[in-house]
Structure 1
Amino acid sequence: MARHAPRSAELLAGPADSAEIAAAEARLRVALPPELVESLRRHDGLSRWGWDNAFPGQPPLQVAQIVAHHEMCMEIAGYSDGRKPAEEGREPWWHPLWIPFAEIDGDAQIIDLRPGPGHGRLGWAYHDDRGTFRDAWPSLGAYLAATADALLHGGGTSRYADGGRYCFPYLTPEDTLWWAPPGTSDLDGEPLRPAPVGLT
């Protein structure tokens, strides 16, 4: 990525501090999933917000942003009964054991830490709707592996495990990474070209 999409590579922050991760776990009162900790120890989210979408889903959060988003949602849910499902079989607006991994405009990709068969799956918590795990990735690791595979070997991936809204990596004229549906040729009138295979 540093060779073919240097601006996107520069957005990836350095590793998170172990003490900061431990402090976040203490504040959230839950151990972060190992896959998230491993990811944060490589890159503590993004160093700054940018128009690049280096991931097919939302931009990954820093440790401090994970805590801040979780606490914000807990506060809002407490005022609005947002932790209660609206009806049988539906998810609540927020749950204390949902850990945000990535977010933009209030819509977050979340890791479900509730006990049961769905433990560890990667779903969505929207700012204006209920959470959902429909077509969820089975884990954060599966999502990240599929993203890396698309960059390394070519092809596409999806923010959804069933392949819905399939995205392929492209490069903008400024050599920044952009994920878009197959056959996309431009971004706001600017040409896109397929990212070269081996872009990791």
Structure 2
Amino acid sequence: MQRRAPASYALLAPPAEPAEVEAAQKAMGLRFPTDLLESLACHNGITEWANLIPGQPPMSVAEILDHWKMCVEIAGDDPDLTEADEDGEPWWHPKWVPWAQSDGDSQVIDMREGPHHGRLGSAAHDDVGSFDDGWPSLAVYLTAVADALDHGGEVDGSTPYLTPEGELWWASPNQTELNGAPLTPAPRTDETAALP
């Protein structure tokens, strides 16, 4: 991204402060998974909204804590929000760690004990949580994103493109424009290996 979409790369925030990460975990009463800790040690979210990955943009530690607190407060003791529906998931669970969010819809990491510990799913603001189309972990998801950037391909039905300004943009396969401006497929590593 730094070489091929520098404007987008510049939106990645500096690493999170370890003390802030520890304080957030303490406030939430749970430990973040290793892959989220490693991600936050690289970039504490992004500095402004951008389409850097498929789906919602990653949040900073402060945003993770704020979104988690908001959802826990909204859910409260309401069984309609805290108990599983017929599909097996509640609207919100306090052991979900939101790591990416947009318009109230978030990607969450399931920190409940059991065989699905650490899986990645979604929590929509107007629906129950779902792990049906999720990922085994944040690391698996981010690896798929990196592979699509390096070698082409889709992640969650989106492929990487570049805007005329050289910004990264994820969109449906075969999309050719964004708001009337052309989109070009992001160059793959093997296509740019010879570039200086």
Structure 2 length-normalised TM:
0.92
Name the counterpart of 2:55. 57
Alignment of 1:108-187 (within 5 A): 108-158=106-156, 166-187=157-178
Q: 1:2 aligns to what?
A: 2
Partner deviation per Cα, 1:39-69 (whole Å, 9 max, x = no partner): 00000000122xx310012100000000000
- 1:44 counterpart letter in structure 2: N
- Alpha-carbon shift at residue 79 of structure 1 (Å): 5.9
* Aligned twin of 1:39: 39
What percent of counterpart residues are identical? 53
Q: Which whole-Å CA distance do the structure 1 matches of 2:137 and 2:147 have between them?
A: 15
Deviation at 1:110, TM superposition (A): 0.2
Taking only aligned residues, the RMSD between alpha carbons, in angstroms, comes to 1.3
Q: Which amino acid aligns with 1:156?
A: E
Offset, 1:16: 0.4
Q: Which runs of 5+ in 1 are unaligned?
A: 159-165
For 1:72-108, what per-residue CA distance to the aligned partner results, in whole angstroms no more than 9, with x for missing partners? 0000001643111233x42100001000010000000
Spell out structure 1 runs of 4+ moving beyond 3 A: none
Aligned length in residues: 189
Task: Tell me which residue corresponds to 1:105.
Answer: 103
Structure 2: gaps of 5 or more residues: none
Taking the aligned partners of 1:157 and 1:10, their CA distance within structure 2 comes to 23
Paired AA for residue 165 in structure 2: E
- Residues in 2 aligned to 1:132 and 1:21: alpha-carbon distance in whole angstroms: 26
**Paired AA for residue 35 in structure 1:** D
